[in-house]
Structure 1
């Protein structure tokens, strides 16, 4: 299975996220949007200097652990993001856009309890990182129209 090409399913909008292939497709579709996003690409490309060939499999492992209970991911999200934040501070707009793109990537292809869990967990990630890195509650009432409830 290629890291860069999504696996296609017949009418995936009627399916939930059920397999590693589904998670692969979600992660690839989401980060494909990131690399073309004017706000987020500089964070990932210029500040974090993400090596996508290394990063995508880790993200697939992470989301497979969270959503499907599969073993594999052993890192800490806060540590990696704190390093990036120390180089170039995150702003609430980064969290808002990241979350909106994640929700869009899910809603375009999947629906069901696991898809809902993916949205809820992403909101929790954004909330924790915003609290730890920016010392604010996310979604912020000032400057954010994104809702974390899904």
Structure 2
């Protein structure tokens, strides 16, 4: 549930910029992001808007993440788990732990939803698998 008192825009920006800097350095994730993100500054603005909408209820993000992720080739559970691992590590280092905890809850939901949608889209006749915890 969005809470305008949870955090500041600066705290969200710090979390997201630090997280995606790690993604860009990650051996597993960076090749995928590098192949599909042509303009990192614009992507970061969009991601800050996304997380501001989720955490603060600003409604600045308008887009449809599911089709963009479904269109990516060769994703697997390990990639989503690595994304979550980096997100949780980055969140744990933030000074605002109330924001970090809420962001992690939402990141878990988002990753699981995108992974389920991806599987259903790519293998509609196969029962989708969940993501392992932690």
* TM-score (normalised: structure 2): 0.84
- Post-superposition Cα deviations, 1:64-103, rounded to whole Å, max 9, x if no partner, equal 010011121011110111122xxx2201110010000000
Is 1:132 the counterpart of 2:130? The answer is no
> Where does the alignment leave 5 or more consecutive residues of structure 1 unmatched?
1-15, 141-145
- Counting only pairs closer than 5 Å after superposition, residues 1-150 of structure 1 correspond to structure 2 as 18-46=7-35, 48-84=36-72, 88-135=73-120, 136-140=128-132, 146-147=133-134
Task: Mark the CA change 1:56 to 1:35 in structure 2 (over 3 Å): closer, same or farther.
Answer: same
- 1:62·1:73 contact (CA, 8 Å) conserved in 2? yes
Pairwise CA RMSD of aligned residues? 1.7
Q: Displacement of 1:139 after TM fit? A: 1.6
Normalising by the residue count of structure 1, what TM-score does the alignment of the two structures yield?
Answer: 0.75
| Offset at residue 109 of structure 1 (A) | 1.5
Structure 1 consecutive aligned stretches of length 4 or more whose deviation exceeds 6 Å: none
8 Å CA contact retained: 1:17, 1:23: no
Q: How many residues align?
A: 123
In structure 1, C-alpha distance between the alignment counterparts of 2:37 and 2:49, rounded to whole Å: 20
- Conserved 8 A contact 1:65-1:71: yes
Structure 2 unaligned spans of 5+: 121-127
